[in-house]
Structure 1
């Protein structure tokens, strides 16, 4: 039987509505100010962390192949049918930002609205729905 940390997965997914709301608000009211830039930066960082944390928990719990990178986490859960390509493609782009957001933050263009910011609310909610559906299907 599988040992899936459903409690942790659902706790992370529960953060996504609020995060999606913040990203949507950033897109609508963007003026390129410092506070907006920092808020966008943090929201993108949290979105990447949630996607990889949840993906890693699914990989471990359902004994999928080991991931070699953050992008590979997304590839694995897409390949296993957890998420669709419509969700996987922008999530891959998101996790590629992680290194800059976490390690090279001095190079992040805070005054610019990142192209993913507008699409992520829809993508993140799709990710949440698809993960929940996968859990329901696999843990019957």
Structure 2
């Protein structure tokens, strides 16, 4: 089956994910000030949004099953072998962190943000795995 993917949209989202990685990997939590904390919070929030958007685009364009929520997007991406479960498990933790950053932002602890910065290499793994999946689909002739 030939799928029409919005590859430029996916690439734009992955480009922003790389920006989030650059920010998160360059910031050290500990003796950070308010600006650094805000930067880490924004990088974490945006990284999750980018990953969700990439997941939604792939799920929609490849006509995969409909997700019931953000965590289901991860399950679908794992089931369809777009990403590995090691990436999926970290992504699920980040989705929960995103919820706290959006809904319970006054309760987010520095330790939660530190875990995000320690795991930020996962963004590069996600990017690579998505690119590998898309290349394989291209080689199969499944993408216009």
Same fold (TM over 0.5): yes
* Structure 1 equivalent of residue 26 of structure 2: 25
Do the aligned partners of residues 84 and 32 (structure 1) sit closer, same or farther apart at CA in structure 2, a change above 3 Å counting?
same
2:70, 2:95 within 8 Å by CA — same for their partners in 1? yes
Query: Are 1:32 and 1:111, in contact at CA under 8 Å, matched by a contact in 2?
Result: no
CA contact (8 A) 1:52 1:70 kept: yes
5+ unaligned residues in a row in structure 2: which ranges?
Answer: none
**TM-score, structure 2 normalization:** 0.87
112 and 88 in structure 1: CA distance in 2 versus 1, 3 angstrom threshold: closer
| Whole-Å separation in 2 of the counterparts to 1:113 and 1:30 | 10
SS in 2 for 1:49: helix
Alpha-carbon offset, residue 106 of structure 1: 2.8
Deviation per residue, 1:21-59 (Å, 9 max, x gap): 2111113x6413211111111000001101100000010
**Root mean square deviation, CA, Å:** 1.7
- Contact 2:78–2:85 (CA under 8 A) maintained in structure 1: yes
User: What is the CA–CA distance in structure 2 between the aligned matches of 1:69 and 1:98, rounded to whole Å?
Assistant: 13
Counting matched residue pairs gives 138
Give the distance between the partners of 2:6 and 2:15, measured in 1 at CA.
14
User: Normalised by the size of structure 1, how large is the TM-score?
Assistant: 0.89
Partners of 1:18 and 1:30 lie apart in 2 by 22
For structure 1, which runs of at least 5 residues remain unmatched after alignment? none
Q: Counterparts of 1:48 and 1:117 in 2: how far apart (Å)?
A: 13
